[in-house]
Amino acid sequence: MSETDTDTQTGWLSPEQIEVVRGQVPIVYVDAVPVRVDGFGNVTEVGLLLRVAADGSISRMIVSGRVLLGERIRDALVRHCEKDLGPMALPRIPVHPSPFTVVEYFPDPDRSGFHDPRHHAISLAYVVPVDGDCVPTQQSLDLAWFSPDEVISDSVRAQMTGGHDRLIRLALGHTGSLP
């Protein structure tokens, strides 16, 4: 591989290169469940993006994306939150974030209950409180906020794919907000 094949400044691979890598090794991701909290730290709302999912469906989903080569986990979380929720979302991410769970996405939807038809991915999952105004970016069709009761309802869960409905329940359980 020549120096021009990989941009070492950003950690991005070309689309062809990422397809080769996806077929050979798991990819590291971060999943961020954006939440709004009250003055006592209780989750009052969960934010879900409406976008085209990896399986081609229009789905409600959380903030998610790859960790770049040489990128700190915290920096990846900030980058993806700002990319998906807008620069004024003001996510509160600790200096040394710890995931509430690790999720494995597989091409086979029956393998773990978490599904990504493109590859095997390992994702570190975080609950991320946001304090600012969230404005979905061009990659998202919409951003909606749901109460904990609403987000686990059958009607909202039916709009999610890939296991994100399960991840939302795990996040709410982790924060003590699962109805």
pTM: 0.88
Residue 106 has a pLDDT of: 95
Check: CB of residue 107 under 8 Å from CB of residue 12. no
| H/E run at residue 84 | helix 73-85
Name the burial class of residue 68, with classes exposed (0-12), middle (13-18) and buried (19+) by CB atoms within 10 angstroms of its CB: middle
With CA atoms as reference, report the closest residue to 167 among 110, 126, 111.
126
The two tokens of residue 99 are 């995931």
Q: Which CATH architecture has domain 34-175?
A: Alpha-Beta Complex (3.90)
Say what the pLDDT of residue 19 is.
Answer: 83
* pLDDT computed for residue 154 by the predictor: 97
For residue 168, what are its two tokens?
Answer: 């939302």
Q: Decide if 63 contacts 20 (C-beta within 8 A).
A: no
- 28-63 residue pLDDT tens: 999 999 999 999 999 999 999 999 887 788 999 999
Q: Which of 64, 45, 43 is nearest to 53 (CA)?
A: 64
Strand partners, 60: 50, 160
pLDDT at 54: 78
What residue spans define the domains of the chain?
A: 34-175
pLDDT values of the chain reduced to their tens digit, one per residue, 179 residues = 444 443 445 567 788 888 888 888 899 999 999 999 999 999 999 999 999 887 788 999 999 999 998 999 999 999 999 999 988 899 999 999 999 999 999 999 899 999 999 989 999 999 999 998 888 776 777 899 999 999 999 999 999 999 999 999 999 999 999 98
